Chains A and B, each alone.
Chain A
């Protein structure tokens, strides 16, 4: 079974801090994604990557950046955390090929609170 591991289940950070959310997958998947999930807004795509060192903006990239130095690891960076970035962050990966043609495998999420 594919395992997608997010480094923290819960995280509390202060406004203005730089925050790193880490995600690791163990199935050699090429595609990796970061979503945030908010009540009433569903899941929204922040960034995705279809190869090492490649990244594409999703629907809400503002205030975020990503890093993919190794195939198995995809990091989400909040350059200067703000209270409106308090959310559940979900990482996912999928097999090679077009991102929509294969199932996404999700981690258990990181609930980030920015105070």
Chain B
């Protein structure tokens, strides 16, 4: 079964608005990563947040992690058309030497 699950499955907003995507997972983790995938391409790493961190920023991206709720959120501020992509969270399971990906959130930014 999937370790991480994103919510919503699809999100459509106007350019300039903020976009928030959520990820829930089942077992304790060492870290959580977020990736972006443009249509028909490979995934690109965005942010890695460790289990002892609560918030992390990178440019217009803000990631939070709540280990008590086993959830994370990715906020993209001041969205642009170029942000249109699918976004995935990936987690490890303690003791497992691999990342497991969720099914992703498909984000569409309307001009």
Interface residue count on the A side (C-beta < 8 Å): 27
Task: Tell me whether A105 is interfacial, beta carbon within 8 Å.
Answer: yes
Tell whether, in the assembled complex, residue B33 and residue A103 are in contact, meaning their CB atoms are under 8 Å apart: yes
| Interface pair A106/B102, CB less than 8 Å apart | no
Interface residues of B in 54-110 (CB under 8 A from A): 88, 90-92, 96-104
Contact A58 B98 (CB under 8 A): yes
Out of B2, B41, B45, B98, which one reaches A108, CB within 8 Å?
B41
In Å, the complex CA distance between A50 and B2 comes to: 23
Which residues, 16 to 37 on B, are CB-close (under 8 Å) to A?
A: 30-31, 33, 35
Smallest distance from the beta carbon of B97 to chain A beta carbons, Å?
Answer: 5
* In contact, A99 and B99 (Cβ under 8 angstroms): yes
**A: which residues have CB within 8 A of B?**
4, 33, 35, 40-43, 45, 48, 50, 56, 58, 90, 92, 98-109, 111
Q: Does B10 contact A (CB under 8 A)?
A: no
The answer for the CA separation of A42 and B90 in the assembled complex, in Å, is 11
Whether the Cβ atoms of B41 and A109 lie closer than 8 Å is yes
B111 is an interface residue with CB less than 8 A from chain A: no
CA–CA, A75 and B44, complex, Å? 21
Measured CB to CB, the nearest residue on chain A to B96 is A100
Q: A43-B88, A101-B30 are in contact. Are A106 and B43 (CB under 8 A)?
A: yes
Which residues of B are found within 8 Å of A41, using beta-carbon distances? 103
Taking the nearest CB of chain B, how far is it from the CB of A76, in angstroms? Answer: 15
- A43-B101, A45-B98 known; A108-B31 Cβ under 8 A: no
